[in-house]
Structure 1
Amino acid sequence: MKIKEIIVVEGKDDTVAIKRAVDADTIETNGSAVNKEVLERIKHAQEVRGVIVFTDPDYPGERIRKIVANAVPGCKHAFLPKNEAIAKTGKKIGVEHATPEAIRKALAEVKQEMEDVHSEIDFESLLDAGLIGGSKAKERREKLGVILKIGYTNGKQLYKRLQMFQISKEAFDDAIAVVLQGEKQSE
Structure 2
Amino acid sequence: MEKIKEIIVVEGKDDLKRIKESFDCTVIETKGFALKIETIKLLKKALKYKGIIILTDSDKSGNIIRQKLVKHLGENNKIKHAYLNTKDTEVESVNKTEIIKILKKVGTLSKNNQKDLLTLSDLLELRIIGENSKENKQKIQKHLCLGHGNNKKLLERLNYFKITKTELKRQLTLTNSPRRT
Helix, strand or coil for the counterpart of 2:24?
Answer: coil
Residue of structure 1 equivalent to 2:85? 81
Specify the code of the residue in structure 1 equivalent to 2:5. K
Q: C-alpha separation between the residues in 1 aligned to 2:22 and 2:33?
A: 24
Shift of 1:110: 2.2
Preserved CA contact (<8 Å) 1:79 1:110: no
Helix, strand or coil for the counterpart of 2:56?
Answer: coil
Residue of structure 1 equivalent to 2:50? 49
Q: C-alpha separation between the residues in 2 aligned to 1:55 and 1:42?
A: 15
Q: Quick one: which of 83, 95, 114 aligns to 2:91?
A: 95
Preserved CA contact (<8 Å) 1:6 1:51: yes
Specify the code of the residue in structure 2 equivalent to 1:104. I
Identity of aligned residues (%): 41
Specify the code of the residue in structure 2 equivalent to 1:60. S
Specify the code of the residue in structure 2 equivalent to 1:95. V
Q: C-alpha separation between the residues in 2 aligned to 1:59 and 1:109?
A: 23
Query: What TM-score, normalized to structure 1?
Result: 0.52
Q: Quick one: which of 96, 100, 107 aligns to 1:104?
A: 100
Preserved CA contact (<8 Å) 1:45 1:51: yes
Q: Is 1:14 equivalent to 2:12 in the alignment?
A: no
Specify the code of the residue in structure 1 equivalent to 2:105. E
- Note the 1:120-159 alignment, pairs <5 A: none
Query: What TM-score, normalized to structure 2?
Result: 0.53
Q: C-alpha separation between the residues in 2 aligned to 1:47 and 1:53?
A: 16
Q: C-alpha separation between the residues in 1 aligned to 2:46 and 2:28?
A: 9
Unaligned runs of 5+ in 1: 87-92, 112-187
Preserved CA contact (<8 Å) 1:32 1:61: no
Shift of 1:35: 2.3
Helix, strand or coil for the counterpart of 2:4?
Answer: coil
Preserved CA contact (<8 Å) 1:3 1:22: yes
Tell me the alpha carbon deviations over residues 4-54 of structure 1, each in whole angstroms, 9 at most, x when there is no partner: 000001111011000111111111100012122211111111111210001
Please identify runs of 4+ aligned residues in structure 1 that moved more than 2 A. Answer: none
Helix, strand or coil for the counterpart of 1:77?
Answer: strand
CA RMSD, 1 decimal: 1.7
Specify the code of the residue in structure 2 equivalent to 1:51. I
Tell me the alpha carbon deviations over residues 160-185 of structure 1, each in whole angstroms, 9 at most, x when there is no partner: xxxxxxxxxxxxxxxxxxxxxxxxxx
Helix, strand or coil for the counterpart of 1:30?
Answer: coil
Shift of 1:56: 0.6
Q: C-alpha separation between the residues in 1 aligned to 2:69 and 2:46?
A: 12
- Count the aligned residue pairs: 103
